[in-house]
Amino acid sequence: MNFHKICFCFGILLFSANTRAQEIRGTVRDADTGGPLDGVSISIGKTPDIDHLAITTDAAGQFFTDALPPGTYLCFFTREGYEPLLIPEVRIASGKETVLEVALRAASTELPNVTIKATPADRRALQALGEIPLTREQTQRFPATFFDPARLALAYPGVANTDDQANGLSVRGNSPASLHWRLEGLDIVNPNHLPNAGTLGDRPTTSSGGVLLFSAQLLDNSSLITGAFPAGYGEALGGIMDIGWRQGNNSRHEFTAQAGLLGLDIAAEGPLSKKQGHAYLANYRYSTVGLLGEMGVSFGGETISFQDFSLKLDFAGKNGGHWSVFGVGGISKNTFEPDRDSTAVEVFKDLLDIDYKSKTGIFGASHWAPIGQKTSYKIAAAVSAQSNDRDSRFWADGTHFEQDEMNEEKWSGSVLATHQFNAKNRLQAGAMINRQFFKTDATYQFQAQERIDRSYWTYQPWLSYSWSSSNSKTQVQAGLHSLIFPLQNRTSIEPRLLLTQILNERHRLSFAAVKYSQIASLWIREQPDLTEAWQLSLRHSWNAAEVWSFRSALYWQRIDKAAVSSDGRDAFSMLNVSEGPLTAPSFAYTGLGENKGLELTAERYLSGGWFLLVNTSIFDSRYQGSDGVWRASRWDLSHIANLTAGKEWQRDQWPERLRAFGFNGRITWAGGQRAAPVDEAASAAAQATVYDLSNGYTEQLPDFLRLDLRVYWRRNIGKLRNSIFAMDFQNVSIRKNVAYRYYDAYTGKVETKEQLGLVPNLSWRLEF
């Protein structure tokens, strides 16, 4: 796309904005039935100890006020017969209407405040114990997230990044390949550009990538479910990234534009019909690197580009129901062309031209509606697909070195029904049906290395019953999930139990015991089978004040039937694999795994101009191969510690102008990943890296340490618009963290690949 055309369109959007007041509005519904709640008292203030603005919902459950200046607020929701709710970090800005969709859960008696993020009533099947809430506001505030909720999750306990170049997540010692993605409640393919980023062999993964496929402008509050799954989740061992898209504004047209070193990002939203409440939300991104490349700018022989377009349409239905249609399409490519001077060759990669292309598309629809006063249902379906092509050849004579193709497609459908008997008893039932297609073709120096072409169905019916005592201080959530896998004629019956005891107005104690399973890696040549796991979790929550929260958690995970080598007694296990292709010719499902750990968290929500999030994880991750020996897994980092904090200084000159300056920082310290030693003799003979897995991952890389900073300047210009100029710096100390070691066929020795150095990102964001 022509650069000047983009700038011209942006200018038209900028000067078409009209003067507006600062408004916050929304709807409060019953969390189980979705019915609107009238008479809900809402208190809004910047800190808990100052005078708050008080408003009340009307007969339609709606609320509205335009009496607040820009800033970050706490919102308290209370109604007789329901659990009180606190939503922290609600941002109000000039030229941007703040819209909240709030769900309150029925209770038979008055309870202490429950602190959550605002989520529509139909978003989640059930409440999870191991849930890390991830908000759109946090992706824009935390340093070096690059507006990616997966990278935001790294600030929380138990989550480790496997490489700086990608958003791959190792959750509680599990492989990043065991994490699955959901969009709008449906299973999807890997929703990332450049799925080969940060991998050992420059080949794509099925669970991560360099850049999220869609913009943070679209995000509703999302979550990383870390393992204590409620009955509505399954087919994952290491977590589920549950992403939701927000509804567009159904009362006025609004625009957001962002320009930075990552690229151009333009979003528009507004009503399709104000009378009927229909709305649209659209977003387009084009990477700046691609634009500069078209203008002739060189980046050391490597060119990276991506672009995507996303759209969501929401239609109001009868009796408070609604329909949604959503879709996203994106393409990305990475081209490596080294210096043609043979004297400039330093490593084997410098001998090659490498072209990598990826295409991803997702399209889906959903419908939610109430049935009477106590029942609601939701149906949804989506189709998603991704294709990856990689070609490397010697630039001297054009001879092909490696060629890879990987294509994945997934059809997903779900149904959910909720019935509330009374404030103490509710029942939920649902099912997920998936059709998986996977095809790969890899060659190495004209020799076939990996060819897989398979498809299969999975069925996941589930049922959950929730009960609370007469005083609502004892709560039980008992359910059953099943994963049916016809390809292998296998069925996994998976009980789920969550117990919560409210000790007093500040303390809660929760216990979860769950079983779940996952189909083994798609890269297995043979037909894959199920790997199963049990997890026990104990969690204590202490809400010391409205903005302070302290949490501690203990967990133990036992993995059974992991895929291991069947042709000999060795240390190989699929629990350590994150990418393909695989070298083991055949597999047996007799391996074991174990993860256990302690997580401690202290969090202060943004209030009074500052916030704090500090946590630590101490854990042990082990596995057992076909030789029956317990060893440290590849993801056994032993410890992770995070400190994220920020301070904002504000100058009040409202309504003419309001300015704020902020400084946020994050430091991460983690143990190094485990690594298998490189077999130099075998590598020299193969002219490729061969790892010695006979004794497992006996080496440990040096500890990982990284400091990230974000400095920003926010301006609210009257009631017309607001802008943010920000500078993000990933790895500001320029520490040389080790990514992995490999054998280089050109140098003839083992080389060390380092993580990214200093990564700056300057951005300017305008909302109007």
For residues 422-459, b (16+ Cβ closer than 10 Å) or e, as one string?
ebbebbbbbbbbbebbbbbbbbbeeeebbebebebebe
Residues 171-206: tens digit of each pLDDT:
999 999 999 999 999 999 999 999 988 888 888 889
CA distance 363 to 201: 31
CA distance 724 to 761: 13
357 within 8 A of 203, measured Cβ to Cβ: no
CA distance 601 to 617: 9
Average pLDDT for the chain: 88
Closest-CA residue to 435 (of 414, 405, 404): 414
Residues 603-658: tens digit of each pLDDT:
999 988 999 999 999 999 999 999 999 999 999 999 999 999 999 998 776 555 77
Please, what is the Cα angle at 500 between 497 and 502, to 5 degrees?
Answer: 175
Residues 407-435: tens digit of each pLDDT:
999 999 999 999 999 889 999 999 999 99
Report the CATH number of the 149-246+338-355+377-767 domain: 2.40.170
Look up residue 93 and give its DSSP letter. B
- Fill in the amino acid letter for 299: F
Look up residue 116 and give its DSSP letter. -
Question: Would you tell me how many other CB atoms lie within 10 Å of the CB of residue 186?
Answer: 24
Residues 515-549: tens digit of each pLDDT:
999 998 877 777 889 999 999 999 999 998 888 99
Q: What is the pTM of this model?
A: 0.90
388 within 8 A of 358, measured Cβ to Cβ: yes
Q: How large a percentage of the chain has pLDDT more than 70?
A: 90
- How distant is the alpha carbon of residue 57 from its chain centre? 33
Give the containing element (helix H, strand E) for 416: strand 400-422
Residue tagged 């994952």 (tokens): 236
- How distant is the alpha carbon of residue 151 from its chain centre? 7
Range 3-118: architecture per CATH: Sandwich (2.60)
Q: Residue 14 above 70 pLDDT?
A: no
Q: Check residues 20 and 345 and name the one with the higher pLDDT.
A: 345
Residue spans of beta strands (DSSP E) within 546-638? 548-565, 587-607, 610-624, 630-632
CA distance 678 to 680: 6
CA distance 586 to 631: 21
Give the containing element (helix H, strand E) for 292: helix 288-294
CA distance 391 to 389: 7
Q: Residue 699 above 80 pLDDT?
A: yes
Domains 3-118 and 149-246+338-355+377-767 share a fold: no
The domain spans of the chain are: 3-118, 149-246+338-355+377-767, 247-337
Average pLDDT over residues 465-489: 93
Q: Residue 256 above 50 pLDDT?
A: yes
Structure tokens at 449: 């290395």
Confidence of residue 757 (pLDDT cuts 50, 70, 90): confident
Please, what is the Cα angle at 277 between 276 and 283, to 5 degrees?
Answer: 135
Q: Residue 718 above 80 pLDDT?
A: no
Confidence of residue 227 (pLDDT cuts 50, 70, 90): confident
Ramachandran bin of 360, using left for φ above 0, alpha for ψ from -120 to 50, beta for the remaining angles:
beta
CA distance 644 to 159: 14
